[in-house]
Structure 1
Amino acid sequence: MNEVEVVVAHRERATLRAGDVFLKVDADQARIDVEVEAMSLAPIPTPEVLWRKPPVLALAALPGTTLGRLGKPSTGTPAAWTAAGAAIRKLHDAPLPPWPGRAGRSVEQLTKELADECEALVTNGVLPADLVARNRQVAEAALRPWTPAFTHGDLQIAHVFVDGDEVTGIIDWSEAGQGDALYDLAAFTLGHEEHLDDVVTGYGTDIDLDVIHAWWSLRSLLAVRWLIEHGFDPFAPGCEVDVLRSRM
């Protein structure tokens, strides 16, 4: 090892890689508690916890590489995406953890968040009013009753590691808990609509695609201002704003 890689960093937390060790720095110990407990309960591969000394959690690196990143072409094969769908289904079928997760916000809470965020996006000139209005209309399909599942809560493709066509592990469990299974599937396929069929094949059950599309719009609308405020670029090609434009 001759360098430290910054995997992700913003005002809330940061993850560094030093050789075969990931170092996660998070001042919110409740999030770290959730992460450690969720990894111990999940019935799919997760990183080994090496040690913990607040505010740092050390995890062993997973073999293989991530499926890709938002805004970049996926390096994974269709079979790898299918295997990921199967792993996600196994997680969703597992016994529920005893706490709510990010994917478990109530319909009432999400409805208010969506209304407030859409107003802020237009009032502050972040996005055109017609783009916001159309995606708000699409997003409303996600605002419906759902059966709680064991959800990851932040299932970006950058959090899923594969070796060939095999899933070797999933990282970043701090948002895990009881939630809407379709939120996970939408987060995983956000910006990679071309692989949705592969994921559904692996997941192995009928899925309401209108709800997946709705979560793409809802997640993107709620994320744009946060991303800008934390130094990310949702306007980059293939990222959140392009996802919103694709619904027009």
Structure 2
Amino acid sequence: MNGPLLSVEELVVEYPVAGGVFRAVDSVSFSVERGKTIAVVGESGCGKSTIAKSIVRLLTPTSGRIRVDGTDIAQMSEKTLRPFRSRIQMVFQDPYGSLDPHLTAVDIVGEPLRLRGIRSKAERARKAAELIDRVGLPSTALTRRPVEFSGGQRQRIGIARALASGPEILVCDEATSALDVSVQAQVLELLREIQQQTDLTYVFISHNLGVVREISETVVVMSKGRIVERGDTEEVLARPKQPYTRALRAAALDPVAMTGIKPRHIVSRLTKTSVGVPA
């Protein structure tokens, strides 16, 4: 179909809280073309992970539309949604917590293949081995369990598992934030190679502007559930127009120094300083 592969339109997500509701995502709209990458960036708690969960329908939005090839999946029943599950997959932030610790790598990657209708265990093992090789792990990884891998290796298994479903859209929710900087670079390079080979479309959720610059063509910047700035990634990061984006950029000038630091604390200090309040 013509037009964007993924289109999020006026998305609203609310959570019940004592005495009412909390609006985590407030009228958010963006789109991404097939084979491209859009980054959703902002401090912790700004709503970006809620958007990710909505796109893969781990939660149902309060209102708005999520169109995949023109079909709105936002309010679909689970039964109607089932064919779309394989088209939209997710790579999670925690490369250990998202993997079943009792299964071997070949079984973890083979499970989506079983759900796709590949009944032969030998055939699933063969295809899983191909995917594990594709993400740069040795054949010796097949029979090992998650606890036997490093963080970067676990994330590669998570990527292989997502690819096993044959997706068109891959949502990466802080997929590199738990990794060392050198390992981050390796995983980003892997994701770029996969996109070049498969024409996958990425929605990349991150608070790290260094990572965003490396992976995405376009970016939306979020604060308190709303988009405050959007555009070409290089343009937005080089010449941010909004004070919030400028503060976020200043907080991430040295990505190495940001390891283990939550951007919201630095942004808060910078914002207070900019209005004359001591940090």
Higher strand share: 2
Both structures adopt the same fold (TM-score exceeding 0.5): no
Which protein shows a greater Rg? Answer: 2
TM-score (norm 1): 0.29
TM-score (norm 2): 0.26
